[in-house]
Amino acid sequence: MKIIEGGVCAAKGFKASGIHCGIRKNKSKKDLALIVCDKLCAAAAVYTTNLVKGAPIYVTKENLSDGHAQAVICNSGNANTCNANGEEIARKMCALVEKHTGIKASDVIVASTGVIGQPMDVTPIENGMESLVSELNLNGSRAANQAIMTTDTMEKEVAVEFTAGGKKCSIGGIAKGSGMIHPNMATMLVFLTTDIAITPEMLQKAVSQDVKTSFNMVSVDGDTSTNDMLCVLASGEAGNETVASDGEDFASFKAALNKVTTYLCRLIAKDGEGATKLLECVASGADNYETAAIVAKSVITSSLFKAAMFGADANWGRVLCAIGYSGADVDVKKIGVSFASQAGSIEVCKNGEGVDFSEEKAKEILSESEIRILVSLGRGKYSATAWGCDLTYDYVKINGDYRT
């Protein structure tokens, strides 16, 4: 398995594009993306668990009910959420794809991201479709990625090459996500493509399993978005025998999928609104995975701890505090905590109690851009990893006037 170039266009059969159509006032910001495949694909998705859902979620769920899709259209600048005509607009976006590409509207995944509760006019999308389709190309992943960004400060794309059934296969993806990130069952917007031949049922199984250890373990600010969606299209053009059950090929695909999703998780956490540091908490020594996951997630979502990391303050007490209220079944007297980065590592807590350590060394370690929080629970063999970011002054600035 190796990382390759191409993003969502790395897999055979896929093209992508991204343009500015006029949804966003800033003409330098792309705001409409399209991903298409040469053929109908097996498809699967997971969605936000927020009771308030963007209109595109309902339309996409309906379109994917048969386990197949051939295109993805997504706009940024307006979330198309809490609008009286939201579903009508989402369906119109699918119909525009059919009009300009010939792909059935019912085989289109539709998504929107941006401000919630703002009236949305489909006219800019309608006017931009001809240009959007004409710009579809094999190197369009980056443009599509740029078109789905909102407060993101960096593009988030990756692709991986792997083997299944003796055939070379690829899987790639793009993502957007910087704020309102605290997913459960999905996250932000993530579009994945692969050329492995696999049934919709197994594709759904792989994605549903993967998000439990990848995107469900990311948090920037504790807010679960209304528009979170992860979808994957599989063209089958790699030529392998169709994966229809558990086995070596399915395991190979799942490993590649996790390589892609974990890579994107880290980018999303690192690009948290106003963030200066990526936080990775590894909780080990648990007697089951669920306990480890609860502990790791609780640490990286603690506002007090996130603020301490912004200040490079080795306030390990906030780690234990977060574990203590997490609801996890742990023995406090067995907990150990260390901080690590490129500058080294330092133990700050052992058996639930503080140990002598150099504040100067700790400051040096915590001043790096990527920080690891290593929590040992001392009770078993299970571990879990969660990703987050520090809490900075800029987070408040960004969200204080996000709508206006």
The catalytic position among 81, 187, 385, 392 is 187
DSSP 291: H
Token pair of 158, please? 């990756």
Q: Per the structure block, which two tokens stand in for 34?
A: 């399209």
Assign 163 to helix, strand or coil. Answer: strand
d(CA 181, CA 76): 16
Using an 8 Å Cβ cutoff, are 167 and 252 in contact? no
Residues 6+ apart with CB under 8 A from 166: 240
Residue 107, CA atoms < 13 Å, CB-side half-sphere: 19
Q: At what angle do helices 317-324 and 303-310 cross, to 10 degrees?
A: 160
Positive or negative: CA dihedral 317, 323, 327, 330: negative
Q: In the structure, how many helices (H) and strands (E) does the chain have?
A: 11, 15
Instruction: Judge contact between 115 and 25, C-beta under 8 A.
Output: no
Residue 334's alpha-carbon distances to 60, 246, 291, 295, in angstroms, are: 47, 38, 14, 14
For 287-343, strand residue ranges (E) read 336-341
Query: In the sheet that 353-354 helps form, which strands lie side by side, from edge to edge?
Result: 353-354, 344-350, 336-341, 370-376, 278-286, 382-389
Q: Let me know if 187 is a catalytic residue.
A: yes
H/E element, 131: helix 123-134
Alpha-helix residue ranges (DSSP H) falling in 135-240: 141-147, 200-210
Q: Which residues contact 176 (CB under 8 A, 6 or more apart)?
A: 76, 113, 145, 148, 149, 150, 152, 156, 188, 189
- The dihedrals phi and psi of 170, each to the nearest 5 degrees, come to -135, 150
- Catalytic (active-site) positions: 187
